[in-house]
């Protein structure tokens, strides 16, 4: 079983729609959680950290469910510029490294 | 001003050659990493150094040898390149894992 699993998509949604991604992780000792965004032929960039209480940054909302070991990302009022691959990322306590999911590819259509 | 810079950006070389990729960060981070992103887009860790000391060495062929002359630099030397080494190699740095990484722009290696 992969340490971090995501639906690779692709997700094609119209501009203005709300879209949600989920991700599951296998190790219950995972400690830090993130969503990264990767544009085509570019490096991954930190979108947001994910906290147990859930957190919001503008149109983006992240949730963590430790009991079920899944993380979600909700994008409201999607823009064309949101088109990218979204990577779910976790770290293990004491592991000193981040483990990346395969990514979910999102395309926003005009 | 670039926080994590890698050179070269593109590298095309023949099988059997030896090549190096360089990485430098000006963020003052203690830890640096090499990741490989293959054609299926999986990002897999290869090595990590903390303050010039190797702390992570995943299952990587010993043709790959990292070197960290100081905590701001992490280089990757690859001997006897093979077709399967073709990938994008990303350097990253972090100060605390709980804050995530900052990545370099990647080196696209093509072995022909």
* Interval B91-106: pLDDT, tens: 999 999 999 999 999 9
The two tokens of residue B62 are 């010993």
Beta bridge partners of residue A20, listed in sequence order: A74
Q: State residue B30 phi and psi, 5-degree precision.
A: -90, -25
Tell how strand A104-109 and strand A11-14 pair up: parallel
- Give chain A positions within 8 Å (CB) of B33: 97
Reported as a single tens digit per residue, the pLDDT across B12-45 is 999 999 999 999 999 999 999 999 999 888 899 9
Q: How far is B27 from chain A (nearest CA, A)?
A: 15
Any B CB within 8 A of A55 CB: no
Q: Do A43 and B105 touch (CB under 8 A)?
A: yes
Cis peptide before B8 (omega within 30 of 0): yes
**Token pair of B109 as six digits:** 């290696």
Contacts of A102 (CB under 8 A, 6+ apart): A2, A5, A6, A8, B40, B41, B42
Q: Which residues of A touch B40 (CB under 8 A)?
A: 102
pLDDT digits (tens, 9 = 90+) for B54-111: 999 987 899 999 999 999 999 999 999 999 999 999 999 999 999 999 999 999 999 9
Encode A52-68: b = buried (16+ Cβ within 10 Å), e = exposed.
Answer: eeeeeeeebbbbbeeee
The closest CB to that of A34, out of B90, B100, B103, belongs to B100
Q: What is the pLDDT of residue A2?
A: 84
Taking an 8 Å cut-off on Cβ atoms, the answer to whether B103 and A45 are in contact is: yes
Q: Which of B93, B100, B104, B108 to mutate to test the interface with A (most CBs of A within 10 A)?
A: B100
For chain A, which ranges sit under pLDDT 70? none
Per-residue pLDDT, B81:
97
Listing DSSP states for B39-90 in one string gives TT--EEEEEEEETTEEEEE-S--TTEEEEEEETTEEEEEE-S--GGG-EEEE
Instruction: Pick B41's closest partner by Cβ from A91, A95, A102.
Output: A102
Placement of tokens 């293990």 in the chain: A92
Q: Do A86 and A35 touch, CB atoms closer than 8 A? A: yes
Name the minimum distance, in Å, from the CA of A27 to any CA of chain B: 17
Handedness of CA A97, B77, A40, A105 (dihedral sign): negative
């Amino acid at each position: 079983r992969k340490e971090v699993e995501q639906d690779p998509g692709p997700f094609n949604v119209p501009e203005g729609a709300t879209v949600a991604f989920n991700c599951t992780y296998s190790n219950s000792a995972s400690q830090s959680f993130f969503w990264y965004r990767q544009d085509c032929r570019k490096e991954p960039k930190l979108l947001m950290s994910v906290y147990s209480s859930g957190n919001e940054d503008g149109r983006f909302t992240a949730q963590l469910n430790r009991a079920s070991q899944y993380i979600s990302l909700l994008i409201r009022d999607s823009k064309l510029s949101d088109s990218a691959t979204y990577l779910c990322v976790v770290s293990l306590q004491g592991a000193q490294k981040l483990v990346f999911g395969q990514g979910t590819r999102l395309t926003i259509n005009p | 001003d670039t926080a994590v810079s890698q050179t070269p950006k593109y590298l095309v070389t023949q099988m059997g050659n030896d090549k190096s990729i360089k990485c430098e960060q000006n963020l003052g981070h203690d830890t640096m990493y090499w990741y490989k992103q293959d054609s299926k887009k999986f990002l897999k860790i290869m090595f990590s150094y903390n303050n010039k000391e190797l702390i992570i060495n995943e299952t990587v062929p010993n043709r790959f040898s990292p070197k960290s002359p100081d905590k701001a630099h992490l280089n990757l030397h690859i001997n006897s390149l093979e077709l399967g080494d073709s990938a994008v190699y990303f350097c990253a740095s972090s100060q605390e894992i709980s804050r995530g990484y900052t990545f370099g722009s990647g080196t696209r290696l093509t072995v022909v």
